[in-house]
Structure 1
Amino acid sequence: MRSALSLTGAAVAALLGTSVHAETISIATVNNGDMIRMQKLAGHFTAAHPDITLNWVTLEENVLRQRVTTDIATKGGQYDVMTIGTYEVPIWGAKKWLLSLDKLGPTYDADDLLPSIRSGLTIDGTLYAAPFYGESSMVMYRKDLFEKAGLTMPEAPSWSFIADAARKITDKSKEIYGICLRGKAGWGENMAFLSAMANSYGARWFDMGWKPQFNTDPWKQTITTYLGLMKDAGPPGASSNGFNENLALFQTGKCGMWIDATVAASFVTNPAESKVADKVGFALAPDNGLGKRSNWLWAWTLAVPAGSKKAEAAKTFIAWATSKEYIALVAKEEGWANVPPGTRSSLYANPQYQQAAPFAQMTLKSIQAADPKHPTVEEVPYTGVQYAAIPEFQGIGTAVGQVFSAALAGQMTAEQALQSAQALTTREMTKAGYIK
């Protein structure tokens, strides 16, 4: 295998069949741990590519989504590389807002990308974004707290088991909360979790006529269970907690269970970052006996907006950051357990990774268990597990997320929140022409 450092700027340009001149590319990315690590290691890229300077714009998840959406829709041209997800790629790719990434060089090996991840980034056989890391969701739990309570976590738990266990291992006098779940408003924050949870309860965002379904029993069961569980066993101020906040709570020993992105596994088991690194176990996201688990499917990806004036330099960077060579670089610098997960089949066939990452097989099982084309118990007109892949969802999902976050903060009841969600979603879907 070539080392990451052996590919000079000229060599990569030759592989891409292009010439790269000295220029600066702006990269918009999210403030997640893997992206921060990428920035730390970017000196390897610039050392090998002295003709390319990197300008980083690192943002909190909700802010990133707003900025890149505004920029690409208005053809603002602020960014040359955008960090976007599996929700945006098929929508923006179909609008020709993104450039094709089919030619990232002969050593890139796009066929090694996990099929479920690659298919979500491909339109009519063309790849429009390269996955930096892929994820589903799963249960991360404190084995010591379970043992102390006389509990055994099943590999495939039910929601009733999770709820019972969360209450049993809670000790608020010691600031140990049985469960940490997302409460921060956002279509990709609390609604990613709640949509996936709702799927397992038999709920769906829309029926086959695009009519919102928040006035149904499955959604009522979902939100009532969530609010009750967080009241009894969740941390204070949970309505402000997203991925990063809950990660910090878990790493400092304040969460007995955390149901969230599989990508978090390397952070909660890293002794340098986590006080409970040697006490963490993993299980599939819970179900409710209806044949659907509450696990999502997502990839943070790197894409080039069609308006970029520095497309070839941007592609050169993406080819590096999402390559097998980059994974090998992270393994060398940070250890195999910390490489970006969930994108390449070769990683999960690698004995070194399997040995270093106790969460590897559970992550792969979780990714493979999610089905974006059949996300719910009943039939739906949309694709996407934790979102509906329509342009309007970003605004609707965030508005609904604000309602449910307010309910978690005690500002309204579950019933009031569901009524509000139904009304605002019906209004927006009617305005957009989905409901006649």
Structure 2
Amino acid sequence: MTLDRRTLIRGTALAAAFAGSAARAQPHKLSIYAHRVHRTVATSGQGGDITAGWSQRTGIAVEWVTFDTGPLQERLFREASLSETSVDIGFLLNTQTVPRITTLFEPLDEYMARDPVEDPDDIFPGMIRGMTIAGRLYGLPFRHASSGFHYNEEILAERGITSPPKTIEELADVAKRCTYTRANGTPVVGFLLPGVTYPNVIDIARAWDGEFITPDMRCVANEPPMVKAITLLRELFVAGAFPRNFAALGTEDVNVWMQTGRAAMIINSMGRNQIYNDPQRSQFPGRIRTTTIPVSRELAGKFEVAPAKVEFWGMAIPRNARNKPQAWSLMKEMLSREATLKAALNGNGPVRNSTYDDPRIRARVPFAEAERAVLKVARVPMPAFDQAARAADLFKEEAEAAVLGMKTPQQAMDDLVRRVRPLLG
């Protein structure tokens, strides 16, 4: 049979189209845009590379492209805004998962319905809710940082205190008792926070199950839980049990205060335990303990521990990505029970309850059971929305005014609500 030129050209075009389709169906690699810490905990350490088995089975390589947090968001959002992108999976902070991203990233509900991740009920629920916008899921959690209560048992012992406070009211009393000058001349404040920004103060308000902004976008900072939190900080400030220069202290400053014994207690990320006990930098290695934030007396029957905040990174698929089925397959692999455990052995904050059952995790993380208890009830500090940064600035401004005595706590929180409500739309 002889082919005419037109038939030959048409056949060649169809073959080329088929070849292109085949190539699209089975890419040679997937590209992940992430922070460098994500690559580290996913690929190196005691647990090994959690993506290696998937690459071996599929024949698809995994390419990590890493940035610092700010540049990562900027580059990822720019790529997701194009008509098409080579990015297959991008890492997002829960605070970046705002309503406008619904136009940039793929809703994952249909993927979950057709081909769900392994044992979804094993994933801590607060993190799933934190990446759900208007009832639709846009990311899978991968790495978390949850809040805990750190205390210097040597300093408490010097003041005759043998155990950490069991309620938030007792915390206030212990903080006052632990405000003194040590025998070596070091002045000690009883309680410390890395600033009175909303993510830090919300941890105290959660002792009364409080919120700044509710999931249904109501500003409730002037209700009793938050007012009580601000009142407690004002009380400690007046007593000298909270730093006079609290507004000027940065993240590294509060770390040094704990390492050198200038503060007895702090609420901060549980992972700070390692820094506070670092034998190369801390004067109290092995003596700074980490546990859960105590609840108020009135909520003792409702919560065993305060439903503190959790912040986390999640994995998302750009809506303009070319290899969505393969990206979903890899995300499922990285969130499997085995991969979550391996990443935790590499130093990751695990997002699954079952990971904390492993004896290797318990040996590596001395506060593992406390962290698990928090994560069962933890929530993001506030829902992500487009004006969140402005709301955060307003919170800091009003909270500082109240702690410094420029306004009463109730007046400051009333003013905050009045100023924030227009930002909520």
- With the length of structure 1 as denominator, give the TM-score of the two structures: 0.67
Q: Equivalences for 1:212-291 in 2 at 5 Å?
A: 212-216=219-223, 218-230=225-237, 232-235=240-243, 237-241=245-249, 246-247=254-255, 249-269=257-277, 271=279, 274-291=282-299
What is the deviation of 1:306?
Answer: 2.1
The one of 190, 196, 200 aligned to 1:178: 190
Quote the offset at 1:74 in angstroms. Answer: 5.7
- How far off is 1:248 after superposition? 5.0
Per the alignment, do residues 255 and 37 of structure 1 end up closer, same or farther by CA in structure 2, a change over 3 Å counting? Answer: farther
Shift of 1:414: 4.6
Deviation for aligned residue 1:203: 4.9
Alpha-carbon distance between aligned partners in 2 of 1:412 and 1:243, rounded to the nearest angstrom:
25
**Number of matched residues?**
382
**C-alpha contact (below 8 Å) 1:112/1:346 kept by paired residues:** no
Choose which of 199, 204, 210 in structure 2 pairs with 1:197.
204
Q: CA RMSD in A?
A: 4.7
SS in 2 for 1:233: coil
Structure 2 CA distance for partners of 1:315 and 1:254, relative to 1, 3 Å: farther
Q: Deviations over 1:142-167 (max 9, x none)?
A: 1111111111334x722221122223
The structure 2 residue matched to 1:296, chosen from 303, 309, 313, is 309
Cα drift, residue 411 of structure 1: 9.5
Equivalent positions of 1:25-174 (< 5 A) are 25-27=32-34, 29=35, 35=38, 37-38=40-41, 41=44, 51-59=61-69, 63=70, 67=74, 71=78, 81-86=89-94, 89=97, 91=99, 97-98=105-106, 100=108, 102=111, 109-111=118-120, 113-117=122-126, 119-120=128-129, 121=131, 128-154=138-164, 157-171=166-180, 173-174=185-186
1:20–1:312 contact (8 Å) kept in structure 2:
no
How far residue 38 of structure 1 moved from its aligned partner, in angstroms, is: 3.2
**What's the CA shift for 1:191?**
1.0
Q: Is 1:397–2:397 an aligned residue pair?
A: no
- Tell me how far 1:330 sits from its aligned partner: 5.5
Cα distance 1:122–1:224, how it changes in 2: closer, same or farther (>3 A)? Answer: closer
- Give, in whole Å, the separation in 2 of the partners of 1:45 and 1:203: 38
Q: CA deviation at 1:355?
A: 3.2
Separation in structure 2 between the aligned mates of residue 369 and residue 209 of structure 1, nearest angstrom: 18
Contact 2:279 2:285 (C-alpha < 8 Å) held by counterparts: yes
Provide the C-alpha distance between the structure 1 equivalents of 2:64 and 2:218, rounded to a whole number of angstroms. 45
Query: Which residue in 2 is equivalent to 1:424?
Result: 419
Structure 1: how far apart are the matches of 2:126 and 2:336? 15
Matches for 1:345-360 after TM superposition, within 5 Å: 345-360=353-368
CA distance in 2: counterparts of 1:363 and 1:208, whole angstroms: 23
Deviation at 1:413, TM superposition (A): 3.7
SS at match of 2:65: strand
Which deviates more from structure 2 when the two are superposed, residues 80-89 or residues 393-402?
80-89
C-alpha distance in structure 1 between counterparts of 2:190 and 2:154, whole Å: 13
Unaligned ranges ≥5, structure 2 = 1-23
TM norm structure 2? 0.69
Note closer, same or farther for the CA distance 1:227–1:19 as it changes in structure 2 (3 Å cut).
farther
Once the two structures are superposed, residues 136-187 of structure 1 have per-residue CA deviations (whole angstroms, 9 ceiling, x without a partner) of 4221111111111111334x72222112222322346525432221316xxx
Identity across matched positions, percent: 18
Give the deviation of 1:226 after TM superposition.
1.7
CA, structure 1 residues 312+162, in 2 after alignment: closer, same or farther (shift >3 Å)? same
**Residues 372-417 of structure 1 deviation map (CA, whole Å, 9 limit, x = unaligned):** 5xxxxxxxxxxxx521x36356245323333146438959545564
| Residues 307-350 of structure 1: CA deviation (Å, up to 9, x unaligned) | 4456578667756655555556557xxxx5x6323412332221
Amino acid at match of 1:26: Y
Q: 1:427 to 1:119 in 2, by over 3 A?
A: closer
In 2, Cα distance between equivalents of 1:248 and 1:307? 45
Distance 1:69 1:24, change over 3 A: closer
Query: In structure 2, do the counterparts of structure 1 residues 44 and 123 end up closer, same or farther at CA, with 3 Å as the change threshold?
Result: same
Q: 3-state DSSP class of the match of 2:68?
A: strand
SS of 1:278's partner is: coil
